[in-house]
Amino acid sequence: MSTKMVDSRPIDRHQESMQQQENDPLTPSDELQESAGAIEQRLDRLEHMMADSISRLDRLQHLVELVLSEAHLRRREDFSASEGNPHWSSEGFPILRRNWPVYFGSDRQDDELAAENFLAGGWFARESWGVWGSDAVQAIRFALEDYRGGYVTVHLGLHCFVPPGMERPSVDILANGYFLGNHKLGPMGRVITLRLPPSCIGDGNIVLQLQHDAAASPAALGAAPDDRILGVGLTMLDAA
């Protein structure tokens, strides 16, 4: 009579589980890795789609600006500059013609543009190169020619007195009370470009305010015999 042998060794449940995972083609960790990879691919596709959308919006904005520029150019070409046309707006602002810069040097004379008319307050007498601001705050006024809405680009030729060893001062620029930006200015002249939105332009009459954060006297600092407190130096104003 034969006796059946029974294996009495304890069953290693952990070992069985490990063997089962090895035989399984996909474990939970593999599924998580695949899921993370799929999410990353989707995020990459979304990022490319967003970049493409931003690029299209930029091209559309550029196209709109070109159309507006062309419209303004056609209006200027249709505008007849006869002797009877007024040079002042109904609000008493001097009219600034598009792409017709005003230069503030005293050696440049233009009866039609009369540079002094654009200096609203806070300025010394004009000099051959332009005009110095008096103290920390200066104002410029003008009316846009034939304004019919939209953004307007304004250019200012500016510089500042910088004492030896000192940092370049900051100048805040506002249009009709709207903050347009802060600019670091030095002794070398710069052309500052300002983009004026319709919300601050209103009916086309504009007051630009320049706020110097460190107006100083060259004489007080031993840099020159000039005892005036110099704000911003202004050479040119233009609208496009």
Least confidently predicted of 4-18, 99-113, 225-239: 4-18
Indicate whether 203 belongs to any domain.
yes
pLDDT of residue 163: 86
Indicate whether 135 belongs to any domain.
yes
Q: How far apart are CA 207 and CA 204, in angstroms?
A: 10
What is the arithmetic mean of pLDDT over 22-37? 63
Q: Give the contacts of 138 (CB within 8 A, at least 6 positions apart).
A: 121, 122, 123, 209, 210, 212, 231, 232, 234
Q: How far apart are CA 142 and CA 145, in angstroms?
A: 9
- Domain of residue 67 covers 27-76
Task: Specify the number of domains making up the chain.
Answer: 2
pLDDT of residue 22: 54
Indicate whether 4 belongs to any domain.
no
Indicate whether 15 belongs to any domain.
no
135 plus 211 within the same structural domain:
yes
CATH of the domain at 144: 2.60.120.260
Question: pLDDT band at residue 71, thresholds of 50, 70 and 90?
Answer: very low
pLDDT of residue 82: 38
219 plus 107 within the same structural domain:
yes
Indicate whether 3 belongs to any domain.
no
Q: How many Cα neighbours within 13 Å face the side chain of 188?
A: 0
pTM (2 d.p.): 0.64
